[in-house]
Each structure stands twice: as structure tokens, then as C-alpha cells.
A and B are shown apart, each in its own frame.
Chain A
Amino acid sequence: MHDLASFQSDLARAIRDPDYIPAGFSPAGLSVYRNTVAKGLVDTLRANFPTVDRIVGEAWFSACAHVFIRAHAPRSPVLATYGEAFPDFLRTFEPAADIAYIADVAQVDALWTQSHYAADDLMLDPASLQSLAEDLLLELPLSLHASARIAWFDAPVATLWRLNRPPAPLPGPEGFSVVWRPEGIALCRPHGEVVAIALSPWQFAFLNACRSGQSFGDAMSAAEDQNTDIDVNGLGELFAAGLFGASDFSAVGHVSPEPLFIHSGRTDQ
């Protein structure tokens, strides 16, 4: 039987299963296909998780990636975001148990990739909010920029990620000094390159409320529920980072005496 479908199933199985060699196949020829498929997926995973690769080292990453790709073959020929399941895989990958934060670092790498390829969007100019009366400002629904991604962790993952994300310099012999505390992270791409900032508890609560479509005032209440002092600089930092989108503002044009200024999130070069 050599119809196309059965031939394909046979070769697909032989590529996945190193112990299976269909009758008549030369092992040397088959190994070229096996190696090409494995190299393609491992290289893609490494490119999408460069911080994990840096922390665990090339050999550990390769060994881990070979286990992952066997369990998580891509479903699409578009590999730009391949490895969405990698952070969760690391949470249960026995050899990673000693590096508890590695799955969280992988999650930030995955968020970086999402932000990098997200739809182009308009960035809200923070100066445009300054002209608003306070009651209008409090009612204003803030939406996150299409490239904005946020996460909260029980460990200083934002700091660990920033220190290890290539092309960050390698640590000296004294290593890194990191204050061990919970930390959030926000990533976005307002002008071509992805930028990341570490978040305090109230900053994360504020952004999380905005992500679910709440108004400026309700997001402030959510932030105040964190029982910390909210400072203007910390709020300004979120706006300056470009975490908010301006695309929805045509719908609330009536609250603004003048059209809101917007920056294009697109790179022209």
C-alpha cells in the first residue's frame, strides 16, 4: 500500500518516533528529515525564549526543548509565536523544579513575542488628558494599547527577566543582587521596539482594571484597594511607557474640547 495518505502517516510517525524506521527507508536519509524538523523547532523555540536559554544554558535548553517539541508539535506553519505552551510545560518539567522562577521568565518571553507581533496601534498622548476636567477624566474609559501585555508574579520576575534578557550584559563574577519580592511587569510596543517596566502592586491593579474596560476612576479605586500610596510619578510612568491606546477615543470625542493628540505606534523604517 503506497497511497499518499498512508505514506505521509508513515513518514510522519518515523519523524516523531526515533525507534520507528519504515520498511525500505534508509536510516541515513530518514535522519536528515528528523534532524531538520527537530533543529527547526528547537531553533525557533530558542529564538522565542532567549532569556530562558541564557539562564539555563544552551545544553540544558536543547535537552528540554527536544522533550517539549515531541509533546507540542506546531499546528500551523506560522511559527512566529511557537511555544505558547512552553511556560506551562516548564511548570511541570521535573528537571526545572530547582529553578522555580524559570516558567515565569518563560511567560515574560512569550508576552514579549506577543507584544512584538501585535497589531499596530495608536498610542495615547498623556498630555491630551491634562486638559480634561476631573469629572470627565474619572469617567474616561482607558483601553490598553494593542501591544500591551501585563502579568503579576510572586517573585521579582520582571527584574530577573530584565537582567537576563539578551542583549543584556552577562553578570560579573559577583552575579546579580536581586531583592526577593513579588513584582509585576508590563510590556508594550509604542514605537517599534518592545519596552518593559516593572510594576508595583497598585500599578498592576490599575492596568488590570483598564484591561477589563473600567474607567479611569474605577481603575484608580482598584489601585487604592492595594492599600499603598499612589504617587503621580508612578501613574505618569504608565502613560509615558505607551501602555494606553488612542484608537477608541473617537467614541468619546465629546469629552475633549479638542481632538486628542495621538502618536502612531507604527515604525516607518
Chain B
Amino acid sequence: MPPTVGLGFKPQHFEDAANCLAVGQWYEVHPENYMVPGGPRVAMLEALRARFPISLHGVGLSLAGDASPSPEHLARLRDLIDRFDPFVVSEHLAWSTADGSYFPDLLPFPRTRQALSRIADNIDQTQTVLDRKILIENPSLYLRLDRHDFSETDFLAELVRLTGCGLLVDVNNVYISARNLRFDAEAYLDAIPADAVGEIHLAGHVADARLGERLLIDTHGAEIAEPVWRLYEQFVSRIGPRPTLIERDDNIPSFKNLMQERTRAAHVLARCAATPVRATAHA
């Protein structure tokens, strides 16, 4: 079956989600929300898994931290993988734990050679414990940091080369980072190694209340913006169709509204599957 479009699962949509008849439907969840002993939340995921493929998209491994991933957290993730047999497992190129405290965010770091070696080790350890390949997602960025040794795309390509991981390309994050840090989003997407891409994310953002369009914020709380749709279409026409997620975590609309965005993405995938993949500039 060719790649299809899935939705981030929200418990308030359970009835609609469980009864969805769309061809190729799948759901993505944050595994951290299901790392509990029992109860209705886990039962809902079991009911969904009985009918649909599931993707686990982690936020807690802190792979870009200067420490090995927590063995307890890896063990919990491994348990969920064994139980729910996800078709994709992904994490972020970011950190969220320091000095034993967890920050519910995806924090940046200078992309140095030292960081590359540390993060590659962390991905290696993760893939070894999980006994599978994971995808790494590009973060949305808000701080211009100096001392980078690599561009983000070169850094991601190096991680792919060193660890055999794949990439999850969040087109909304590319757009936000490009606007906030003043780089060219199209050039960024052109530099992504096509073969490594295992999934694409689409989400909405908002302009900062004070600074307006000069600072875009990745809220996952709005409809996918038109420039992000255009970048997505260009990207998929270059690399070919990939499983694509409609991601919404705040200001949650009806299931039907999310399905409308899903339909639009599915049309993009269908168009791109029907035409030969454009030659890549960075083969």
C-alpha cells in the first residue's frame, strides 16, 4: 500500500477515530501519555490498534542532551512497542531533560562536532534497546545560536550516516525556523536526503502576540498555513509520497475538520504518486 495520511489521536475524538472508514487511516500518539499501569487511556489505544496502524512519536528521550537516554524511559518505550507494534517510532533532534528535571519542550543546542558524536551515541543506544530504526524530527527554532559547526540539514544527514536512523521532516517546523532564523525553507528541504525520509509532519502555527509575523510559534493550535502546504507539495514532488501526519495538539477542532486537512494532504500524495519523482539537486 502506498504511503497515506494519518491523524494525531486525541482522546476526545475516540468515537469518531475508532469508527473512521477512510482508506489508509492511521494514528499517531505520544508514547509518554500511555506510560501508565492501566486504565481507559491505554484501553482506548488498544481499541484503536485493533483496527489501525499506530505510530509512536516520543517527546521524552532528550536525545540532544549531554547524557544517555534514561534506561527507565527506554524500557517503558520498549514495552509499548512490544505491546502496540507501531509501524513508525520517532523522536526529536532536541533535549528536554537537564540535571534530573524535565522541561515539557523541545530545546535547542549548538550543532557542534561534540554534539554530533554525543547525539549519534544516544540514537545508537536507543535503536539498540528498541531493536529498531527510529526517525529523528527537525525541531522548530526560536534562538539564533552561534558556534554551529553544521547546518541542520548537514547535521541530520550525518546522524543518518552514523546511526542508520531515518528522518521525520516537519514542514511546519522548517517554515517556522526559516522565518524566525531568516533562512530559505525551500533550500533547506532541497538539502534533505530523500532516501532517509520516513514520515512528514504538517501542523499549524501562530504569530507572536507582541512581535507578529517576525516571530512564529509552533503551537499545533491552528490550521495548516498555506505556505506550509506549498512547501509540502514541493517536497513530496521531489522525494515522492511519504506517510504524512496532520498534527494538532491545542485548540482542538472537530474530527471532521481534521479529516478535511487529511483529505487535502491525501490529494497531494496521490498527485505526487502519479507523476515521476523530480530529479534531486542533492543526490
By a beta-carbon cutoff of 8 Å, the part of chain A in contact with chain B is 2-5, 7-9, 11-12, 15, 24-26, 28-30, 32-33, 36-37, 40-41, 44, 73-81, 116-121, 146-147, 189, 192-193, 266-269
Contact = CB atoms under 8 A, between A and B. Distances in A.
A29 B144 contact: yes
B271 interface: no
A14 B105 CA distance: 14
Interface in B216-244: 217
Contacts of A37: 103-105
B104 A9 contact: no
Q: Most B CB atoms within 10 A — which of A75, A78, A118, A266?
A: A78
Interface of B: 18, 32-33, 35-41, 43, 47, 59-62, 64-66, 73, 76, 95-105, 107-110, 112, 114-115, 118, 142-147, 180, 208, 210-211, 215, 217
Contacts of A266: 38, 43
A5 B95 CA distance: 11
Given A4-B114, A26-B144, A29-B143, A36 B60 contact: no
Contacts of B147: 2
A193 to B, nearest CB: 7
Nearest to B99: A12
Given A4-B109, A77-B60, A77-B96, A117 B142 contact: no
B103 A12 contact: yes
Contact of B143 (A5, A30, A116): A30
Contacts of A44: 104
A4 B43 contact: no
A80 B103 contact: no
B217 A74 contact: no
Contact of A78 (B32, B40, B217): B32
